[in-house]
Amino acid sequence: MVGSWVFWAVLSAVFAALTAIFGKVGVAGVGADFATFIRSVVILAALALILSATGQWQGIDGISGRSWLFLTLSGLATGASWVCYYRALKLGDAARVAPIDKLSVVLVAVFGVALLGERLSATNWGGVAMIAAGAVLVAWR
């Protein structure tokens, strides 16, 4: 089970849900950008511990320029996402912010097809449409 992508995706969803709940409570009385900074420092420290405990540190000289470019772009996109997410949590209800944030699922499907050449069936697109509609309905006031 630990070797299954589904296992890790479900855990990701659980932790993403806890991120919204803990973040909403934590951002009270703290600036959204500073809250994002604290979160980032904690993540950096946790990952350093995981790499050390599992012996997964590796030399950076073996990483291709293409990987550096796209990991850097991914890091910048993650940072921008977190800044926006914490600002949204500061202003809105977690139960309404999180579903709009999860419209990223819809965008990943569109970008995956447009930029990576992935293919989705009509059934898949129906699911994407339902995710979009569901996110909007959950966030609707």
Q: Which tokens go with 57? A: 């540190």
- Whole-angstrom Cα distance, residue 40 to residue 19? 12
CB 14 within 8 A of CB 56: no
pLDDT, residue 141, reads 84
CB 28 within 8 A of CB 34: no
Same domain (yes/no): 58, 115: no
Domains in the chain, number: 2
Q: Which domain holds residue 113?
A: 102-141
CB 25 within 8 A of CB 35: no
Tens of pLDDT, residues 88-137 = 999 999 999 999 999 999 999 999 999 999 999 999 999 999 999 999 99
pLDDT, residue 26, reads 95
Same domain (yes/no): 83, 36: yes
Query: Mean pLDDT over all residues of the chain?
Result: 95
Average pLDDT over residues 18-34: 95
Average pLDDT over residues 4-8: 93
pLDDT, residue 1, reads 82
Same domain (yes/no): 1, 51: yes
